[in-house]
Structure 1
Amino acid sequence: MTGRHSARRGRGTTPAGLAWRQFAADPWVSAALALLVGLVSLLVTAVPRALEDVQARQLAQDVSALSALQRDVTGAWGTTVESPFAVDPADGQATDPWQPFRDGAEQVRLAQPEPLRSLLQPAQMHSYLTSDITTVPPIESTYYAATVTVFADPDLERHVELVEGEWPELRAPAGPDPDAPVGRTRPAGTQPDQEEDAARTTVPVVILDEAAERTHWEVGDEIGGGLELVGTYRPVDPDDPRWQHVPNGTSMGILADPNRGEAAQVTAYLSPRNRGSLGPPASVRTQLWYPVDTSALTTDRVDTTLVRRQLTRMLAQQHVIVPAGDPSLGTLEGPQVPSFTTELTSALDQVARQQRATSSLLAVVAAGPLGVAAAVTALGARLVVQRRRPALALTLARGASPVQLRRLVAAEGLALGVPAALAGHLVARAVLPGPGRWWEWAATAVVALVPAVALAASLEDASLLQRRSDLSARGRSRWRWVVEVAVLGLAALATWRLLDREARGDEAAESGIDLLAAAAPVLLALAACVVALRLYPLPLGLLTRVLRGRSSLTPFLGAARALRDPSGGLVPALSVVLGTSVALVSAVLLTTVTQGAEAAAWQGNGASVRLTGPVVDDALVQQISQVDGVTAVARVRDLGSRLDLVVDGERQSLRLLIADDGLERVLAPPSQAAGPPEAFWDEEGPVPLAVGGDVSVTTGEGTLGTLRDPVRVVGALDDVPGVQTPGSWALVERSRWEAAGRTTPLARTALVAVGEGQDPGRVAEEVRGLIGSGVVTTVQEELDDFTSAPVTTGLTRAFVGAALVSGLLTVLAIVVVQLMGASARTRLLAVLRTLGLGPRQTRALTSWELGPLLVTSLVVGAVLGLAVPWVLVRAVDLRGLTGGGAQPALSLDPVTVGGVLLTVVLTVVLAVSVSAWLAGRTNLAQSLRVGEER
């Protein structure tokens, strides 16, 4: 023997050399196992990142939908400004009166924790006199009056451009002439009297160029209250959100009076170095606001619940912007303490509920593909060990210990899993860039270890002998019974705690995944598999005994082999159960959320078309009724005052809403809005009332305020369709209210029903043309917003993706099971083919081996796929996804459920057909040859 041969044999007998030779002899299964690990690692890393991205974009969209007045954190407080001048007491020089306010506001912002601090941009501020100035513009303007609100803005010159005249400067006015008539202006082009100037000095202001043009005020005019117009301005960016904090800042307002005509609403600006004084001490309201950076919500992927807690804490605390005694403040001014408010907290609450529901549902759906992937990985590891059984048995016979063999296959598993998992992780980070989380690497590490653990666990015993593993309902392992009882107990406990959560008053976690809601369906799936696989051998044994007396060999032999020599054991059943249940859960939950969103859109809009804003009188109702396609119009009014409802001696104060008699026709199908009960429309007896909100009385007769007729509470509603309901309220029909001798107020909300086959969008456009001003919305617009929302598209893709991945993995599991039994099946089929068994019977035999188990798994998976959504709809708050005020009902669409089941069945049939086709390609000569295994 040469040295080369000795060296070559020495390398081959080392553990690394032996592992390499085993891998090189049959690399495809190991390579497929590594590919599966890489795919799982990619999904484990990518899915949470994609979920964070979807939630961040949804948060940014919801926050951006708020106006600046609703979104920004705004503080306001009142003070008395003594003089327009701020003087430094050290040198007597004029100073910037706004600088202490800027510094104080910035200190408040910097005192906030992250991420709230980064979301709040530097504060902006202005002040305005609490007393408006009413004057009369020139007669050419056609306005009978003009109301001027005086503002002071330190950043005015940065946000507007001067159109005509000059910027206002600081003056020391002596105050307006008490003998001068209020509202009289000096004619344009005339010069003020010098003695009049000596007696008093006007205060220079600038106004919007549009306002000056429409009121016919010119530069140099006195516009009332001692204000001199010295210039006009135009906003640099009229769409800047800051202008939402300034009434009439970008356009002149008009207030209509049916008896007198129109009055102009004008905003006038003082010098930017004036905090709001016209001379004598003035009562001033100061506002500052922190604009919210909506782009940071997406780029930084902030924790919504954390931001909400920080924001709530900020609103609850007292913040001193400028302390008392500051040199910039007058002697009449105390500490400047704003009261901060924002509607962002309610939006964050809505988004937090939405994110919690989304995360919980995705956790439930993702458990299916992960479970199937784990099952396929276990099957693949067993297949690798099975195909290497002769070599491993020979190694064991030559002196290797079982521990050494486990270390050997575990090392191979690490060599396969670590690079594959790392590659999947890096691909996911490249596709979905963004800040990393420590648990992403931890999840990747766990995935990388799975092949090593699975391969080591696949060495069943030290001798590697093949044994029969007959299925039995009783089982031989004591620990199997312990594990199964534990699984059943945990599933029952989790389901009970989940369904009983509302009765106990418990609430889900404020953020992240609802762990109980995510764990209960997984435990239910495991429990269903435990029960099914315990009971499965009983009908299979009965089927074997029934087929034993028949003349056909194939069904009996296939059933007997499925009972006595199950190729994959119990693992493929779990794969099919999870794959079927995931497909059904995804379809049912998606249908439930979609139908819930549609019902919420109908409930929120009230009718196909809703009109809000202007006064909707009888004439306008008549015009709307004549629009082609309109079938009914109903108005809903708010009485505007609270009344006492007394029923059975219990008194409760509530707001009264009055609905037109046509509301019943508006709420008729195809409307999905929930209206009052039938008894509400009774024309005889006590006046019917439907109550809602905080009203505790839901039935009974009593009295309402000073109404002379008795009333009867006929039922409770969550809300009135299309109307923002107050905390406690009652709804009454207009005809019954007026028949009791009461008058109805003006209506500003009208619900318009559109006939079937008509276009609500066209009707809405015609209604907009009739009213001129106001808000007209349709149900279809609400549904379009829902379907285009990031969370809706993301959830849909996740559900579809989970179903597809589960289906593919299920097919792979069935194929792997066929390959695991290929050796024994091939030997048997070779003998039977020699005795005359045909190719069709060969394929039928393979189908019979897999068929009973797969049919049982399909039935169990279908039942589980319908039971899990039933549990989730009763336990998980889905209102954040639908946008409604009520929990959506479980929606089972027969077409969708049937289509999903048919697809799953066809997928399983395809997998069985592929397995049967592979089994039918038996090489008789090679299988009958006495080889190294004989």
Structure 2
Amino acid sequence: MSGRHRGARRHTGAGMAWRQFAADPWVSVGLALLVAVVSVLLTAVPRALQDVNDRQLAQDVGGLSALQRDVTGRWSTTVEVPAPPGVDPWVPFEEGAAKVRAGQPEPLRSLLQEAQMYARATTAVEHVPDEDSGYYGAEVAVHADPHLAEHVEIVDGTLPGPWGGPEADASGEAGAEGGRVVGPDGAPGEGDAGDGVPVVVLEEAAEELLWEVGDRVGPLVVAGTYRPLEPDDPRWQHVDNGVRMGVLFDPNRGQAALVTAFVDPGSRGYLGQPTAVRHELWFPVDPDAASGTGVDVGLVRRQLTGMLAQQHTLVESGDPALGPIEADQTPAFATELTDTLDQVVRQQRATSSLLAVVAAGPLGVALAVVGLAARLVVQRRRPSVALVLARGASPRQLRRLAVVEGLAVGVPAAVLGHVLARVLLPGGAGWQEWLVTAAVAAAPAVALAASVDDASLLQTRRDLSRRSSSRWRWVVEAAVVALAGLATWRLLDRGSRGDDPGTSGVDLLAAATPVLLALAACVVALRLYPVPLAALTRVLRGRRSLTPFLGAARALRDPAGGLVPTLAVVLGTTIALVSAVLLTTVTRGAEAAAWQANGAAVRVNGPVLTDELVGQLAGLDGVAAVARVADIGTTQELFVDGERTPLRILVADPALEQVLGAGSPAPGPPPQLYADEGAIPLVTGGDAPAQVGPATLGGADGQVQVVGHLAELPGVQTPGSWALMDADRWAELGRRLPTARSALVSTTEGADPGAVADAVQDLVGTGVVTTVQEELDSFTSAPVTTGLTRAFVGATVLTGLLTVLAVVVVQLMGTAARSRLLAVLRTLGLRPGQTRALAAWELGPVLATSLVVGAVLGLVVPWVLVRAVDLTGLTGGRSQPPLAVDPLVVGAVLAAVALTVLTAVTVSAWLAGRTNLAQALRVGEDS
């Protein structure tokens, strides 16, 4: 082969691409790093969001008791006779429950575990125990549990077996004909059937009530005692007093015992005569299964609603397992899980929308810098590319070569970023993730191919006119501003139109509106900043110093900025302020919700709060005031202007004024409620009329004055329509004060609410004592709170770093023209310090304008989002929190952003000031 042919072989497209890359590899390497960053972002953000949602769902569902989260069905029937020998009456019920579960769609079917059930006699057995027990009475609830033997250990005696004795009369006395108790293995058990229905009771209850095996308890006889194998098993929450004996306190008589007794499962609660029983069947919900990766909470909520709305027949009438008078066994299912799922759906909706807003900042800047870096790659190769064009290469060939180089840079970087994100955030991954990664991998190729058209030997000056050379610029800018205005209007007007933003996923309108506002702000900034800059140029023209005038003139006629650095600074400032303001808003909203839910620093629920006990509570160290709130227990009629409203009356101690006074974070009743003279005041609440004025309560002798209205009373579960009165004024109407079981406790200044709560708990014993701090600690440690905080901080930091990079890349793009100018000026005597100042002027005005526009936008966007996105799922409150702007936080964020922009300008000016005079003045060096 001749040398000519060998030379031709060396000048292939691949060879030329490699030589261009080897001559200036750093920009291409930087482009690859940017692609990897974008790939990591687009892969990690959805995974992080899913992880936060899954952990929050597990916490919310796990925080519910089994009674609250399980899907429970109840129905009543009458058991005429026990099941025939050898027939298990529970099999048809279990088969029917299995069919109900199998008929549910996924993922609901997987969330519902195998059904469990029991039957309970609707009438409890009353018994007077031995005086030595210390209990004045005992109430025994009779249960039949088909799987009792699997969950208990017999301590004494045996499990109750099938009972074959005669029917009892209405009083429960045994007949004359004898029968016997048979154990599980067929051996004779304890006692005689004629002595009563054999049952097994809790060991603790037998010890407390001094019962022994064989003792008669009304129509029952104790056949044995048991101990739960797993007392913490959630199934026991469905069985009242199955794990520990209940105690009912009567201030006049003492204590009464609440006991659960289990009969033979085959009897289904039959007690010797037709027995009215209530069946309960429940599908346990496993919190771990409910929080599996990728669970669509909105879909589960809809499926669960459909299940609860349907009628499910477990066993049809005529089944041999049923008695002759039993009809279809059709339970009515219910669960409190739906309310939690509604809360989670709102929470996920708000979280997704807010994360989409903050993620748009770094993502938008990163994509803009990717395009800018692609232009920089082509621009630095302009002389060689233009020479190849002049020697006969077609633009199509160069674009193909650019596409190949872009794929060679983008594909490995995008795949590396994707894999890195999956390693950092493992979990289930859908094939859609790879589509996003493929689009990111193709971005450099598209950007390089589009930038090839800029390469030409013809160099034109852009500083001869301030008018844009593009005829479509005004059209595009007008379209962006119009879209931003339309999106904002549609978002803010959503409530009045009644539009539903959806039940799950990202609120696209709420996520897109801030981005459109940022683009519109960039358009405004680019159009407005030349106006003051032109005036400044005219002022500086007459001064002796060259640098300010020349810098202002270059910034006006040939700005190094443009859309990319403007967008970077606007988005960086906006995202930083949006993150700070939204975090402040959500945090203060959660604090307000915690105070509204608890009512006071400490709240007590449960025991009977007598005057003596309240006095003891008020005497504890750190307690400022104690106010009881009680429901009178009956519905009263309130007449306002002839309109009758049935409502419940709540009465509160006068100390409520101190607990919910002006200094309380929870809004309380107006001061007029505590007036000692004049018409008896009351405050309406909930759905009751909000009209202030004279009214009548429950008759002509009940003249009252409505002095205010509250949506809800802090710390108290209020009914739909209610009214609050001072307890002393309620007594003036001649009404009896109800027994109070709830109290709000305020603390003195400097006291530790936790220590006060511990002292209150020690005093009240069995009551439930809660504090506001517990609610706030739960909010702070919640996965959604920590996830949002990290996302906001991470987005702010990453956007700041990308902003610095965007400014530096923009300065590098203008290196050639700037170097020629600075070289001439340096030759004429311009000092290095003046050189750096001149370079800083190129970006200073537009970045300063962008900083101001971004600051304004950073306060406008949260204002829009708070009015459009439901944040109650994040705060836990019932009402939307108001926008909270902390001047100190906003000032610190703006100072940090300004320092970041100043750093970017300083670095770019330093790089621009390192001008090589000889190289810049040399003509024809590149060929």
TM (normalized to structure 2)?
A: 0.95
State the shift of 1:511 in Å. Answer: 1.2
Alignment of 1:85-104 (within 5 A): 85-86=83-84, 94-104=86-96
- Which of 210, 218, 224 is 1:216 aligned to? 210
Tell me, yes or no, if the aligned pair for 2:139 and 2:257 is still in contact at 8 Å: yes
Alignment of 1:430-579 (within 5 A): 430-461=423-454, 463=456, 465-470=458-463, 475-579=468-572
Map of 2:304 onto structure 1: 311
- Which of 18, 28, 31 is 2:29 aligned to? 31
Map of 1:164 onto structure 2: 156
Are 2:910 and 1:912 equivalent residues in the alignment? no
Task: Between 458-467 and 255-264, report the one with greater CA deviation.
Answer: 458-467
Are 2:886 and 1:928 equivalent residues in the alignment? no
TM (normalized to structure 1)?
A: 0.94
- Judged with a 3 Å threshold, the aligned counterparts in structure 2 of structure 1 residues 199 and 24 are, in CA distance, closer, same or farther, namely closer
Map of 2:45 onto structure 1: 47
Instruction: Please tell me the root mean square deviation across aligned C-alpha atoms, in Å.
Output: 2.2
Q: Deviations over 1:343-384 (max 9, x none)?
A: 000011011111111111111111111111122112111111
Tell me, yes or no, if the aligned pair for 2:657 and 2:671 is still in contact at 8 Å: no
Whole-angstrom CA distance in 1 between matches of 2:221 and 2:669 = 59
Map of 2:806 onto structure 1: 813
Tell me, yes or no, if the aligned pair for 1:473 and 1:537 is still in contact at 8 Å: no
Q: For residue 639 of structure 1, give the secondary structure of its aligned residue in structure 2.
A: strand
Q: Deviations over 1:471-501 (max 9, x none)?
A: 9776343321111111111111111121122
Whole-angstrom CA distance in 2 between matches of 1:882 and 1:911 = 37
- Judged with a 3 Å threshold, the aligned counterparts in structure 2 of structure 1 residues 682 and 466 are, in CA distance, closer, same or farther, namely farther
State the shift of 1:5 in Å. Answer: 7.2
Whole-angstrom CA distance in 2 between matches of 1:253 and 1:588 = 50
List runs of 5+ in structure 2 lacking aligned partners: 175-187
Are 2:837 and 1:839 equivalent residues in the alignment? no
Amino acid at match of 2:300: V
Are 2:791 and 1:798 equivalent residues in the alignment? yes
Q: For residue 702 of structure 1, give the secondary structure of its aligned residue in structure 2.
A: strand
Q: For residue 299 of structure 1, give the secondary structure of its aligned residue in structure 2.
A: coil
Amino acid at match of 1:163: V
Whole-angstrom CA distance in 2 between matches of 1:426 and 1:522 = 28
List runs of 5+ in structure 1 lacking aligned partners: 88-93, 183-193
Q: For residue 590 of structure 1, give the secondary structure of its aligned residue in structure 2.
A: helix
Whole-angstrom CA distance in 1 between matches of 2:441 and 2:794 = 23
Whole-angstrom CA distance in 2 between matches of 1:383 and 1:462 = 11
- Judged with a 3 Å threshold, the aligned counterparts in structure 2 of structure 1 residues 909 and 198 are, in CA distance, closer, same or farther, namely closer
- Judged with a 3 Å threshold, the aligned counterparts in structure 2 of structure 1 residues 38 and 307 are, in CA distance, closer, same or farther, namely same
Map of 1:202 onto structure 2: 196
Amino acid at match of 2:239: V
Whole-angstrom CA distance in 1 between matches of 2:378 and 2:171 = 107
Amino acid at match of 2:216: E
Alignment of 1:865-884 (within 5 A): 865-884=858-877
Map of 2:582 onto structure 1: 589
The share of aligned pairs that are identical, in percent, is 66
- Judged with a 3 Å threshold, the aligned counterparts in structure 2 of structure 1 residues 95 and 743 are, in CA distance, closer, same or farther, namely closer
- Judged with a 3 Å threshold, the aligned counterparts in structure 2 of structure 1 residues 715 and 918 are, in CA distance, closer, same or farther, namely same
Map of 1:90 onto structure 2: none
Map of 1:191 onto structure 2: none
Q: Deviations over 1:736-786 (max 9, x none)?
A: 333344333122211111122110111111111111111111111110000
Whole-angstrom CA distance in 2 between matches of 1:651 and 1:14 = 94
Are 2:145 and 1:153 equivalent residues in the alignment? yes
Tell me, yes or no, if the aligned pair for 1:379 and 1:568 is still in contact at 8 Å: no
Q: Deviations over 1:820-847 (max 9, x none)?
A: 1122222222222222221211111111
Map of 1:770 onto structure 2: 763
Map of 1:21 onto structure 2: 19
- Judged with a 3 Å threshold, the aligned counterparts in structure 2 of structure 1 residues 271 and 465 are, in CA distance, closer, same or farther, namely farther
- Which of 90, 93, 100 is 1:108 aligned to? 100
Q: Deviations over 1:207-253 (max 9, x none)?
A: 1111111111111222220x222211110110001000001101111
Tell me, yes or no, if the aligned pair for 2:38 and 2:440 is still in contact at 8 Å: yes
Tell me, yes or no, if the aligned pair for 1:473 and 1:535 is still in contact at 8 Å: no
Are 2:691 and 1:698 equivalent residues in the alignment? yes
- Judged with a 3 Å threshold, the aligned counterparts in structure 2 of structure 1 residues 19 and 133 are, in CA distance, closer, same or farther, namely same
Task: Between 831-840 and 123-132, report the one with greater CA deviation.
Answer: 831-840
Whole-angstrom CA distance in 2 between matches of 1:921 and 1:729 = 77
Tell me, yes or no, if the aligned pair for 1:576 and 1:858 is still in contact at 8 Å: yes
Whole-angstrom CA distance in 2 between matches of 1:329 and 1:177 = 22
Amino acid at match of 1:28: W
Whole-angstrom CA distance in 1 between matches of 2:206 and 2:884 = 60
Whole-angstrom CA distance in 2 between matches of 1:35 and 1:753 = 57
Whole-angstrom CA distance in 2 between matches of 1:853 and 1:557 = 16
Task: Between 435-444 and 150-159, report the one with greater CA deviation.
Answer: 435-444
Whole-angstrom CA distance in 1 between matches of 2:198 and 2:649 = 49
Tell me, yes or no, if the aligned pair for 1:84 and 1:172 is still in contact at 8 Å: no
Q: For residue 445 of structure 2, give the secondary structure of its aligned residue in structure 1.
A: helix
Alignment of 1:691-770 (within 5 A): 691-706=684-699, 708-770=701-763
Amino acid at match of 1:224: G
Map of 2:179 onto structure 1: none
Q: Deviations over 1:523-581 (max 9, x none)?
A: 11111111111112222222222212111111112222222222343221111100110
Tell me, yes or no, if the aligned pair for 1:612 and 1:774 is still in contact at 8 Å: yes
Whole-angstrom CA distance in 1 between matches of 2:486 and 2:729 = 53
Map of 1:190 onto structure 2: none
Task: Between 359-368 and 688-697, report the one with greater CA deviation.
Answer: 688-697
Q: For residue 762 of structure 1, give the secondary structure of its aligned residue in structure 2.
A: helix
Whole-angstrom CA distance in 2 between matches of 1:650 and 1:573 = 62
Map of 1:421 onto structure 2: 414
Amino acid at match of 1:158: E
Amino acid at match of 1:148: V
Tell me, yes or no, if the aligned pair for 1:592 and 1:888 is still in contact at 8 Å: yes
Q: Deviations over 1:154-193 (max 9, x none)?
A: 11111111111222211212134778879xxxxxxxxxxx
Tell me, yes or no, if the aligned pair for 2:754 and 2:771 is still in contact at 8 Å: yes
- Judged with a 3 Å threshold, the aligned counterparts in structure 2 of structure 1 residues 683 and 391 are, in CA distance, closer, same or farther, namely farther
State the shift of 1:709 in Å. Answer: 4.7
Whole-angstrom CA distance in 2 between matches of 1:581 and 1:141 = 72
Q: For residue 217 of structure 2, give the secondary structure of its aligned residue in structure 1.
A: coil
Map of 1:143 onto structure 2: 135
State the shift of 1:907 in Å. Answer: 0.8
Whole-angstrom CA distance in 1 between matches of 2:152 and 2:192 = 32
State the shift of 1:805 in Å. Answer: 0.7
Whole-angstrom CA distance in 2 between matches of 1:865 and 1:246 = 55
- Judged with a 3 Å threshold, the aligned counterparts in structure 2 of structure 1 residues 634 and 648 are, in CA distance, closer, same or farther, namely same
Map of 1:397 onto structure 2: 390
Map of 2:670 onto structure 1: 677
Map of 1:626 onto structure 2: 619
Task: Between 903-912 and 441-450, report the one with greater CA deviation.
Answer: 441-450
Q: For residue 845 of structure 1, give the secondary structure of its aligned residue in structure 2.
A: helix
- Judged with a 3 Å threshold, the aligned counterparts in structure 2 of structure 1 residues 177 and 740 are, in CA distance, closer, same or farther, namely closer
Q: How many residues align?
A: 913
Q: For residue 588 of structure 1, give the secondary structure of its aligned residue in structure 2.
A: helix
Whole-angstrom CA distance in 1 between matches of 2:792 and 2:549 = 40
- Judged with a 3 Å threshold, the aligned counterparts in structure 2 of structure 1 residues 709 and 74 are, in CA distance, closer, same or farther, namely closer
Task: Between 121-130 and 681-690, report the one with greater CA deviation.
Answer: 681-690
State the shift of 1:434 in Å. Answer: 1.9
Amino acid at match of 2:30: A
Q: For residue 459 of structure 1, give the secondary structure of its aligned residue in structure 2.
A: helix
Q: For residue 262 of structure 1, give the secondary structure of its aligned residue in structure 2.
A: strand
Amino acid at match of 2:33: L
Whole-angstrom CA distance in 1 between matches of 2:390 and 2:708 = 82
Q: For residue 290 of structure 2, give the secondary structure of its aligned residue in structure 1.
A: helix
Q: Deviations over 1:779-811 (max 9, x none)?
A: 111100000000000010010011011001001
Task: Between 14-23 and 675-684, report the one with greater CA deviation.
Answer: 675-684
Are 2:403 and 1:410 equivalent residues in the alignment? yes
Tell me, yes or no, if the aligned pair for 1:172 and 1:279 is still in contact at 8 Å: no
